[in-house]
Amino acid sequence: MSTLTETSQASPVLRLNLSGGTGSEPSRITCTPVHPTFGAEIAGVDFSRPPSDHVLNEIKDAVGKYGFVVLRDTGMTDQDYVDFGSRFGELAPAESRRFPTKNLADPSNLYLDGNIVKPGELRWFMAKETALFHVDTSYDARRARLTSIIARQLPPPGTGGATEFGDTRTAYDDLDEETKALLEDKVGVHSHFHSRRVALPNFPTFKALDPWDYPMHRHKIVVTHAGSGRKDLYIASHLHHIEGMDPKESDELILRLRKMVEQPKYVAKVYYQQPGDVVIWDNTAVVHRAGGNEGEGWSGKHVRDIRKWMVYDNTPEEWGMNERGTPKHLAGPVIQAMFDELHGIEGKVYDFDED
């Protein structure tokens, strides 16, 4: 596994003549690869004012080429950051009661009063799935293509809090031809309830919620990445089953694909170094997870305030194999209601041994 801080100094710096420019205008950004097959850190962007269309197109092309990019110490306010995101496409609706900016989601570990989510609280258990490799919103009928995070307040250095990425394009390339043929045109069925169970299979609340009782949504397992033309595995923890396969064979194949992408040769880790650091990734080119296997020294002890926007796919495959206009189904309120029904301890700590 490669880490950004370990590889960036040794990696070649590329000044790219990317297709998003005018053709005659020189490239204004530099891309430092952070892994042999994907990921780059971008330099040369002045965020004291909105980037020009030329620079923005270069950033878009870099995301397409590398799958994810890192922008350091941008200095953007929340509104600057959302305005920046809106230039990539239609933003997925989001809101938080912690801050007023529209279309900005709140994946932090903070409550409204500023207290940190503690072990044993429902939000603690619900967040466990973020430590599994996944693609954002595959459980929805309409998929998001781009996701971005901006760091606001970080845990102390050495306590974790990174984001890891898996290179699903190269993983597809490395599949044997028999598996590629098997996966071609296969449809995966995704569920937000399923990924909770994968993360904590014995947690009573998740065990009580059968994914078959709730909406699941369908997307092809193998998609063509619009940014590069390469084929990609659209998989990971939300993937409940593969249509048309025997359940046992489906489970075994999904696990095999997940384990393949988790191999260190396909994985890169990004550390947020200071507030204002931004990461942008393409969910049809990579999977991601919170922290990876470095431990959770910050979790339950230190603030990790990060904020997020997502941009819809805006390709013919945006709605997958689902009916266009299908409304989003929210799993959170269902999980909260089941937790309250089973335990009656809303707002209190629940003692659960994960083992």
- Asked if the model's pLDDT at residue 10 lies above 90, the reply is no
- In which element (H, E) is residue 270 found? strand 267-270
Residue 202 CA: distances (Å) to CA of 63, 206, 299, 340: 38, 8, 21, 17
324 within some domain: yes
**Pairwise CA distance, residues 211 & 139, whole Å:** 11
Which contacts qualify for 330-334: CB closer than 8 Å, 24 or more apart?
Answer: 331/139, 331/192, 331/193, 331/196, 331/214, 332/126, 334/193, 334/209, 334/214
234 within some domain: yes
187 within some domain: yes
325 within some domain: yes
- Asked if the model's pLDDT at residue 13 lies above 70, the reply is no
147 beta partners:
281, 310
350 within some domain: no
As for how many domains the chain has, the answer is 1
DSSP at 266:
G
223 within some domain: yes
The closest alpha carbon to 3, from 278, 266, 265, 268, belongs to: 268
Amino acid at site 13: V
Q: 325 is in which domain, residue-wise?
A: 2-343
Which of 23-32, 83-92, 209-218 has the weakest average pLDDT? 23-32
Which sign, positive or negative, has the C-alpha torsion 85, 90, 96, 100? positive
- Judge residue 348's burial from the number of C-beta atoms within 10 Å of its C-beta, 0-12 exposed, 13-18 middle, 19 or more buried: exposed
310 within some domain: yes
Three-state DSSP class for 293? coil
The closest alpha carbon to 126, from 228, 65, 187, 209, belongs to: 209
Span 204-217, average pLDDT: 96
Amino acid at site 270: V
263 within some domain: yes
Contacts of 355 (CB under 8 A, 6+ apart): none
| pLDDT value of position 4 | 41
- Asked if the model's pLDDT at residue 5 lies above 50, the reply is no
CATH code of the domain in which 291 resides: 3.60.130.10
Whether the Cβ atoms of residue 151 and residue 276 lie closer than 8 Å to each other:
yes
- Asked if the model's pLDDT at residue 117 lies above 80, the reply is yes
DSSP at 257:
H
Amino acid at site 266: Y
Could you read off the pLDDT of 278-325 as tens digits, one per residue?
Answer: 999 999 999 999 975 555 567 788 999 999 999 999 999 999 999 999
**Pairwise CA distance, residues 254 & 239, whole Å:** 8
Higher pLDDT pick, 295 / 232:
232
Which alpha helices (DSSP H) does 213-273 contain, by range?
Answer: 247-261
The Cβ of residue 302 has, within 10 Å, a number of other Cβ atoms equal to 16
pTM, two decimals, is 0.91
